[in-house]
Amino acid sequence: MKEKKLNIFISPLDWGLGHITRTIPVVQMLKDRGHHVILGGGRNASNIYKSEFPDIEFEPLPSSAIHYPERGSLIWALIRQMPRFFATIRKEKRKIAKIIRKHQIDVVISDNRYGLYSRDVYSIFITHQLMLKLPSAVKMLERWVYKRHQRMIMKFDACWVPDYARPPYLSGDLSHLYTPSSHVVYIGPLSRFSMGFCEDASAGKIYEVIAILSGPEPSRTRLESNILEQMEKTGKKCLLVRGLPSDTGDLKTPSNIESVNHLPACTLREKILQSKYIIARAGYSTIMDLVAMGRTAILIPTPGQTEQEYLAQYYNQRKLFLCISEKDLNLHEALNQITLYQWNLNMRSCQSLATEVERIEKLLGSK
C-alpha cells in the first residue's frame, strides 16, 4: 500500500527568533520524508523561512504584538496584556480554519501558538515550558498556573517537548518538574545545526568573539550597544549577529567589528565554528544550538524573563555555561572566566522525533 503524503502546516510564535529557528529541523525532516509543508507566521518567520526554504508556500498569521518592559518583570507585563493575547488566539482559530480548507491540511504543528488547532485535523503543540516560571513574589501560584496551562495544551492531540525524556535534561524544571500528561512526547532537542544538512565548514578561528543577539526590544538594542562598546575595547576581530532578519539597514561599527543583521543557519554555524568565544542570550533554542555543537558560551538572560533567568542559573550551577546578568557584563573578565567552562556532557543522539513522525504517518495513513 502506497504511503499517504501529508499536507502539514507549521507555524511558530513570533516572540523573538528561537521559536522560528527550532522548527527548521522539523520542516527539513518532513520535506525529506516527502510531505507537503506549508509555513506560517509573522514578518520575522517569513524572512527566516524564505532564506532556509525559498520554495515553500507561506501564510501570514496575526501577531500577538506583545510589548516588553524596559525594566521590571516580563511576567507582570504579560499579565497586563492578557486580553490582547487571548484576542490573538481567537484570530488564530479563525485563520487556521481557512488555511485548513484552502490547503486541505492533515496536520497542524504549532510552536507556542495556542490558537492553531482544529478538531478536524491532527494538531500538535511544541513547547519546552510545560510549567511557567513565575517571579518570586507570586511563586506560590506556579502550580495553579501549571494546571491552567495544561488545559490549553490538552486541546491539541499531542504536545512535543524538545528535550530528552531521561537525564541529562536540557530544560530542567520547565519540562520535568511535574509528571507529564499522556499526550506529551519528548522528541529530543531541536537544533538547526543538528540535522546534517549543513556542509562541513572550516573550523579555523577568525573571530575572537561572536555575539548572537535575539529577543525583544528594547533589551536587544540595549545589549547590542553594551557589547559593541566592550568588543571595541578588545582590539580584536569580532562578529556581531544582530538578530534582525527583517532589517535591511547597516549598522556603523568600530573597525575591529563586523556586523550582520541575520545569517542563514548553515552560515551562522560556520561563523560559530570560526569564533573562539560566544556571547548569546540564555534562550532555550540558543542553548539547544550550542549543545548540538558542543560549545560553551557566555549567556546573558533577558532581564525580567523568568524562563531565561532560571535556565541561566540552572546551567551556571553545573558549570556548563558562564551566565552573567546584563548589568554585570564585563567582557574582559568574562573571557578570562569562560576558559574554566566547557561543555562536558556526552549528549546522546535521539531518534524520538523520527519515531513520532512515523507514528503519525501510520495513524493518518490508515484513515
Residue in the block written with cell 575572537: 208
Rounded (to 5) percent helix, strand, coil in the chain: 40, 15, 45
Determine the angle formed by the axes of helices 24-32 and 352-365, rounding to 10 degrees. Answer: 50
Q: Which of 153, 108, 145, 157 is nearest to 128 (CA)?
A: 153
Q: Residue 251's domain spans which residues?
A: 207-338
Identify whether 72 is part of a domain.
Answer: yes
Same domain, 108 and 158: yes
Q: How far is the C-alpha of 324 from the C-alpha of 312, rounded, in Å?
A: 8
Residues 172 and 215 in one domain: no
198 within a domain of the structure (yes/no): no
User: What one-character DSSP code corresponds to residue 305?
Assistant: -
The whole-number pLDDT of residue 45 equals: 95
What CATH code is carried by the domain that includes residue 181?
3.40.50.2000
**Shared domain check, 99 and 33:** yes
Rounded Cα–Cα distance for residues 282 and 15 (Å): 14
Kindly report the backbone phi and psi dihedral angles of residue 7, in degrees, each rounded to the nearest multiple of 5, phi listed first: -95, 115
- Determine contact, residues 157/142, Cβ cutoff 8 Å: no
Does 220 lie in the same domain as 158?
Answer: no
Query: What is the reported pLDDT for 285?
Result: 96
Alpha-helical runs (H) found in the chain: 18-21, 24-32, 43-52, 74-80, 82-103, 142-153, 173-176, 219-234, 265-273, 284-293, 306-317, 331-338, 352-365
Same domain for 166 and 23, yes or no, is yes
Same domain, 38 and 95: yes
Both 323 and 355 in one domain: the answer is: no
202 belongs to a structural domain: no
In a domain, 196, yes or no: no
* Whether residue 357 is found in the same domain as residue 301: no
Among 238, 278, 280, smallest CA distance to 259 is for 238
115 and 25, same structural domain? Answer: yes
3-state secondary structure of 322: strand
Residue 185, helix vs strand vs coil: strand
Render pLDDT for 39-85 as a digit per residue (tens, 0 to 9).
Answer: 999 999 999 999 999 999 999 998 766 666 666 666 677 777 788 88
Tell me what pLDDT residue 70 has: 64
Q: How many CB atoms lie within 10 A of CB 254?
A: 13
Our count of domains for the chain comes to 2
Residue 162 within any structural domain of the chain:
yes
The answer to whether the beta carbons of residues 174 and 307 sit under 8 Å apart is yes
Using 50 as the pLDDT threshold, list the residues of the chain that sit under it: 1
- 51 and 173 inside one domain: yes
Rounded to 5 degrees, φ, ψ at 226 are -65, -45
* The predicted structure's pLDDT at residue 16: 81
For the stretch 130-166, pLDDT in tens is 999 988 888 899 999 999 999 999 999 999 999 999 9
- Residue 70 carries which DSSP code? S
28 and 172 belong to one structural domain = yes
Residue 1: per-residue pLDDT: 43
Q: Against a cut of 0.85, is the pTM above it?
A: yes
- In degrees and rounded to multiples of 5, residue 32 shows phi and psi of -60, -25
Residue 197 lies in a domain: no
Q: Kindly state whether residues 33 and 176 are assigned to the same domain.
A: yes
Domain contains 201: no
CA 191 – CA 24 distance, rounded (Å): 8
Residue 46 inside a domain? The answer is yes
